[in-house]
Structure 1
Amino acid sequence: MTKKEFVDDIAIRGEITKKEAENLVNLFLETVSDNLEKGNSVGFVGWGKWEVLKRAAREVRNPQTGNKMKIKAKKVVKFRVGKSLEEKIAEAK
């Protein structure tokens, strides 16, 4: 599902205009990304949680050449699915 399709679905389900739905989606995405940028996690009970994790620097091997390469430490975003959503997906047909 693309962002446009998602906005259209929100508009239909919420019985609001596409412009209002797009504003709501953009506000949601901005709020989540701003909080993750600050290092805060964002979670919804039963649905899931986004959190920022620190990935340590490490040395890897290039599979094509066999040469060793160093990868710098970095922050990554991880999403952990909540129990209710996980069960709903497992039951879907």
Structure 2
Amino acid sequence: MNKTDIIELVATEMDCSKVQAGKAVEAVIKSLREGILDDGGVTITGFGAFNIKKRKPRTVRNPSTGDPMTIPAQTVVDFRTAPAFREMLERPVVGAHIEVKPVNSEYPAESNPV
């Protein structure tokens, strides 16, 4: 899902034009950006928290040459899901069908009763 998809979803849910929905989405994004930059983070109850995180410099290996190289310190935005949202993520997807076939079955795959 991208920003355009979100705007279309908001327009449908709110029964408004895509222009109005676009302005609302832009306002939310602007508020998130300002909250993260000005306050160091934003928490949305039931969804999660965006926080500024500082990464230390680290040494890694170039996969092509094997030579060590240093990745400089970085400031990034970290997202942590809220417990309620995390529970939703762990539930099985409704309508998802997972076919399980036993390994080394004495039945061929076509006639497998599973």
TM-score, L = length of structure 1:
0.89
Q: SS of the residue aligned with 1:38?
A: helix
For residue 77 of structure 2, give the secondary structure of its aligned residue in structure 1: strand
Map of 2:64 onto structure 1: 64
Q: Secondary structure at the match of 2:50?
A: strand
Written as runs of structure 1 = structure 2, the 5 A alignment for 1:7-86 is 7-38=7-38, 40-86=40-86
Structure having the larger proportion of residues in helix: 1
Counterparts of 2:33 and 2:61 in 1: how far apart (Å)? 32
Give the structure with the higher percent strand.
1
Mean CA deviation greater in 49-58 or 82-91? 82-91
Q: Report the identity percentage.
A: 28
Q: What CA distance in whole angstroms lies between the structure 1 residues aligned with 2:60 and 2:39?
A: 27
Give the counterpart letter for 2:22 in structure 1.
E
What is the alpha-carbon root mean square deviation over aligned residues? 1.3
Between the aligned partners of 1:16 and 1:90, the Cα distance in structure 2 is 33
**Which consecutive unaligned segments of at least 5 residues does structure 2 have?**
95-114
**Using the alignment, how far apart are the partners of 2:63 and 2:82 within structure 1?**
36
Q: Which has the larger radius of gyration?
A: 2
CA distance in structure 1 between the aligned counterparts of 2:58 and 2:73, rounded to whole angstroms: 7
